[in-house]
Amino acid sequence: MVILEGRGITKEFGGLRAVSEVDFTLNQGEILGLIGPNGAGKTTIINMISGTYPPTSGRVIFKGEDITGKKPYKIGRMGISRTYQIVKPFPGMTVRENVSVGAMFGARGKELSAKEAIQRADETLEFVGLSEMADRRADDLNVASRKRLEMAKALAMGPEVILFDEVMAGLNFSEIDKAVELILKVRDKGISILVIEHVMRAIKNVCDRVFVLHHGTKIAEGTVDEVLSNDEVIKAYLGRRYKELVQ
């Protein structure tokens, strides 16, 4: 069953068309990858889904309901959460407090007391492996832990769909492998995932399907193997060296 869908979504900034008539579907329980070169429009797609930018044209459909142009907090309450490329925890607050904010502003967040939000935060920190850091200031964490905190804030919102925007950027190989394991655990909780990533080993290990943007236009879609062997994708994004390495 399709849980999230983009129908011809387009975003223009002045005279620049950043995303042009892109269609996509995310199925229930699926991990859908979104790849492409820098500046291709990937984060703009997430911004339109999450309500940060209203599409210039086209529609975003969530569980059969048109959510195009809704405010981000309303979309969060409906069951869509996201992470950000540049991780910015709430400064001066503990790890637990950061995640509690996510709990209170997500799905059914209005129903939670402060005590219940803290309980959900602690459960989420246990899930992502940050329990021992719960009382530390969030802005004191290293990059890998900040990435996990970003994922925890999104998870604490109680979403049905999570949009992961480069949660592995800046990580070493060991940290990437742990992030892959965590993303698969998130999917095992029944959450559908759209993930933007440049790390191809991660894309190969987590995604059921992938679509590719180049200059704001979708140029390919299919299984991971189909897309990564596509000549147009290799030319526009992966490069000849990648093709030589995988042959």
Q: Residue 243's pLDDT is what?
A: 54
Domains of the chain: 1-79+160-172+179-247 (3.40.50.300), 91-159 (no CATH)
Q: Residue 112's pLDDT is what?
A: 83
Q: Residue 240's pLDDT is what?
A: 64
Q: Are 5 and 61 in contact (CB under 8 A)?
A: yes
Helix 114-128 / helix 95-104 crossing angle, nearest 10 deg: 120
Q: Residue 91's pLDDT is what?
A: 86
pLDDT, tens only, 105-138: 887 777 888 899 999 999 999 999 999 999 999 9
Q: Residue 245's pLDDT is what?
A: 46
Q: Residue 88's pLDDT is what?
A: 84
Burial class of 244 by CB neighbour count within 10 A (0 to 12, 13 to 18, 19+): exposed
Low-confidence ranges of the chain (pLDDT < 70): 240-247
The DSSP bridge pattern shows strands 161-165 and 2-13 to be unpaired
